[in-house]
Structure 1
Amino acid sequence: MFDPRSNSLNALRLLLASLVVVSHSWVIGNLGEEPALGARTLGAWSVLGFFGISGYLITRSRMNGQPVSRFFRARFLRIYPGFLAALLLVAFVFAPLSVAVGSPGGFTLGDSLSYVVRNLFLYPPVVSQTTIGTTLPEGEIWNGALWSLFWEAGCYIGVGLLGFAALRSRSTAILVTLFAGSTCLSLAAHVGWIPASELTLAPPLMAAFSGGALLYLHARRIRVLPALAVAVAVLLVSVATGTATVLAPLPFALLIFALGAVLPLNRIGATRDLSYGIYIYGVPVQNLIEVGLPDLSLPVYLLLTFACVVPLAWASFTWVERPAMRLKRRVRPALAV
């Protein structure tokens, strides 16, 4: 049912990235609590969707028989150049602009350099630096959306190390174990057996990614309508009982791929995929707007946010992401073994 050459996943990723920005507007704009379903915010649901999509597509990429070095190079070039550009812009452009537009705080060059250095490894948990001096009010984070990229890269490494042969022979057992283990950890965190921390955010994402991988490996065996009926039922239960972190990752991934297969939106994002840029620049733009123009209404705040974020996402794709992705095609076969 799902055609990897003609589908609406780019449109859905664009929607998910935009929903992350919308969800963050309530908190960053001091408009109240983020909207939530099943004890998961709108942004958290979107990130689950991203990881389900990645699980399917990254596993498919690894299964095509390419050398592991080429696989890792492609993944690095897709995610890291855009991330690094966003990191540098926040440290050396957004932070100074926040002072210029009215932030009562300040920063030093050392604060900006520390922000870049401590976050270089894809915003790692525990050691990452979330602020730059006192440019934002206490408790605010310059680019909190980046937290998921560390775990995304971890999933890429896991799939890469499994290797083509291992995916062929033992993938189901490995991925089922990973999915079950992640789900159990999510349950333990949900009921309070594990204290909440940055690390407890990861298990639902691991479940979504491994769930997407399982969907790819068993795609030909899945009967679409019965599977969708079960998926929708489980999602409704997760929303009604507030257990989305535990129950939603796999059925949500299935629902997204079904929508990707049937929605007639395959032209959206076909030539310019702005979803990554919107995701990595949404929070910094929202913080800057809140510093310079506090107390905006939600519609005005969102309109101004997207008016700034979309050009940044376009620039990121045009001048950073796409040129980086072209580099992977220039590797000589002899060097890609």
Structure 2
Amino acid sequence: MSRISRLRSAVFGSQPLSEALGRENGFGLLRLLLALSVIFAHAMPLGVRRGSIGAIWSRGQVELGGLAVAGFFVLSGLLITGSGTRLSTARFLWNRAIRILPGLWACLLVTAFVIAPVVARREHLLDGFWSHPQGPWQYVMANWSIGTGQPGISGLLTHNADPGFNGSLWSLVYEVLCYLVVAALAAMAVLHRARWVVLGTVAALYCYMVYLAIDYPGLRAPIYIPTTLPDWRLPFLGQIGLDKLVPLGLLFGLGAVAELYKKNLRMNAIAALLSFALLVGSARYGGFYLIGLPALAYLLIWLACYMPSPLTRVGSKADLSYGVYIYAFPIQQGLALWHVQKHGYAVYTGASVVLVLVAAALSWYLVEKPALKLKNIGLPRKGIGGTAGPPQPAREPATALSA
């Protein structure tokens, strides 16, 4: 079906997601916009030291950074689950590893051995910088395996709003845990032969969220509701907070269900407009946790399906979203240390965007893109279903965003 036909169907009728989502789609643009929105969100607490954007308006339910994280987990759930249905488990895990780890490791090295020494010189703390018990090498070793074991370096940035060098990396743990669940379900043939298990799990997570949210007046619960359940500590991943795992797992699961039931899920403009209204209305008046998050999932998937053609090219040649995600926080920390924010929010944010995009481009062309050439090593490609499946609709996201 041509793109014009799909657009006409979207406005005047409906069609299943399996038909609406073609190779030309809006995933690249949506991921980049979500990544950039985190820069705008962090500019408030890190730079001008004010409350997060949207927190007051939504009465504490959500802010811009949290909304970006939620959106990215939805898109990731759809694309990553699609990959899990097509590839062998070994190939799936290898592809995820080379998409995430080389860029992360390069960022850790740049942060520890380029950014941190510059910061130490700025703060006049070079003496003892290298021999500090939480020095740059310890920073790399503590964080190389996804989990954030050491946020700071050599006691620097104590005068900043946040003493950590990359507070955005916390969501990597939850993203990777979702990948491992997808790999396990694919290996057990659940994705092909018992997809109802995924649907039932998502329904159970939603019911638990209802249980958590009903105690809040007007259902105005924050995205990350504190729970009485103990945190988990997993090898390599570190500590997993269930207050974050439940909503993020639900969002990833909504994307996964959309992929698994793409022949049944209908896409049309009326449902998208209704989702937008529910998203905004619940964020303002209450129930965002239970109403707004599913509405956000549908709206983002619809936008990906019917993005105007020129915009579908964003990210097709160079996917900068991951680089934006991993470099934004340390760059904004550095700009705050140099007091760029004294010139106002617009100047601080504009400088952040420019420098982060440059860093993201370098990351893509020097690290991420070369690493992706290793995808075609001698691992079995076919999944349990017996075929490699149709071509992927878009380049998979490297990771979810963090606020």
Using structure 1 for the length normalisation, give the TM-score. 0.89
Among residues 163, 167, 176, which one is paired with 1:140 in the alignment?
163
**Who is 1:82 aligned against?**
103
- Say whether 1:99 aligns with 2:117: no
1:274-313 to structure 2, matched below 5 A, reads 274-294=320-340, 295-313=342-360
Among residues 283, 289, 298, which one is paired with 1:254 in the alignment?
298
**Who is 1:216 aligned against?**
259
Q: Once superposed, what is the RMSD of the aligned Cα atoms?
A: 2.7
**1: distance between equivalents of 2:226 and 2:324?**
35
Decide whether the 8 Å contact of 2:44 with 2:50 is kept in 1. yes
Q: 1:44 offset after TM fit, Å?
A: 0.9
**2: distance between equivalents of 1:215 and 1:332?**
28
Identity value in percent: 31
Structure 1 residues 107 and 80, CA gap change in structure 2 (3 angstroms): same
Q: 1:204 offset after TM fit, Å?
A: 1.7
Bigger drift between 242-251 and 203-212 goes to 242-251
1:36-115 to structure 2, matched below 5 A, reads 36=54, 38=58, 39-64=61-86, 66-102=87-123, 107-109=129-131, 110=133, 111-115=135-139
**Structure 2 residues not aligned, in runs of 5+:** 1-18, 214-220, 232-239, 385-403
- One-letter code of the match for 2:365? T
Bigger drift between 296-305 and 172-181 goes to 172-181
- Say whether 1:331 aligns with 2:378: yes
**2: distance between equivalents of 1:21 and 1:133?**
25
Structure 1 residues 279 and 77, CA gap change in structure 2 (3 angstroms): same
Q: 1:170 offset after TM fit, Å?
A: 1.9
Superposed CA deviations along residues 241-287 of structure 1, whole A, max 9, x for unmatched, are: 34434433332121111111112211111100111101110000000
Among residues 168, 172, 190, which one is paired with 1:149 in the alignment?
172
- One-letter code of the match for 1:129? Q
Bigger drift between 92-101 and 149-158 goes to 92-101
Q: 1:19 offset after TM fit, Å?
A: 0.3
Structure 1 residues 179 and 44, CA gap change in structure 2 (3 angstroms): farther
Decide whether the 8 Å contact of 1:19 with 1:43 is kept in 2. yes
Decide whether the 8 Å contact of 1:130 with 1:141 is kept in 2. yes
**1: distance between equivalents of 2:22 and 2:322?**
19
- Say whether 1:27 aligns with 2:45: yes
**Who is 2:192 aligned against?**
168
**2: distance between equivalents of 1:245 and 1:184?**
12
Q: 1:181 offset after TM fit, Å?
A: 1.7
Structure 1 residues 247 and 129, CA gap change in structure 2 (3 angstroms): farther
- Say whether 1:244 aligns with 2:288: yes
Among residues 227, 247, 266, which one is paired with 1:194 in the alignment?
227
**Secondary structure of 1:219 counterpart:** coil
- One-letter code of the match for 1:234? L
- One-letter code of the match for 2:106? A
**Secondary structure of 1:36 counterpart:** coil
- One-letter code of the match for 1:240? R
**Who is 2:10 aligned against?**
none
Structure 1 residues 169 and 118, CA gap change in structure 2 (3 angstroms): same
Bigger drift between 146-155 and 182-191 goes to 182-191
- One-letter code of the match for 2:329? V
Q: 1:332 offset after TM fit, Å?
A: 5.3
**2: distance between equivalents of 1:183 and 1:281?**
36
Decide whether the 8 Å contact of 1:179 with 1:211 is kept in 2. no
Structure 1 residues 202 and 298, CA gap change in structure 2 (3 angstroms): same
**Who is 2:14 aligned against?**
none
Decide whether the 8 Å contact of 1:183 with 1:246 is kept in 2. no
Q: 1:120 offset after TM fit, Å?
A: 2.0
Decide whether the 8 Å contact of 1:172 with 1:214 is kept in 2. no
Q: 1:23 offset after TM fit, Å?
A: 0.5
Decide whether the 8 Å contact of 2:48 with 2:345 is kept in 1. no
Q: 1:163 offset after TM fit, Å?
A: 1.2
Superposed CA deviations along residues 171-204 of structure 1, whole A, max 9, x for unmatched, are: 2233432453266248627486626987112322
Structure 1 residues 320 and 258, CA gap change in structure 2 (3 angstroms): same
Structure 1 residues 130 and 267, CA gap change in structure 2 (3 angstroms): same
Decide whether the 8 Å contact of 2:319 with 2:364 is kept in 1. yes
**2: distance between equivalents of 1:100 and 1:267?**
42
**Who is 1:119 aligned against?**
143
Using structure 2 for the length normalisation, give the TM-score. 0.75
**Secondary structure of 1:325 counterpart:** helix
Q: How many residues align?
A: 333
Structure 1 residues 270 and 102, CA gap change in structure 2 (3 angstroms): same
**Secondary structure of 1:258 counterpart:** helix
Bigger drift between 9-18 and 103-112 goes to 103-112
Structure 1 residues 35 and 55, CA gap change in structure 2 (3 angstroms): same
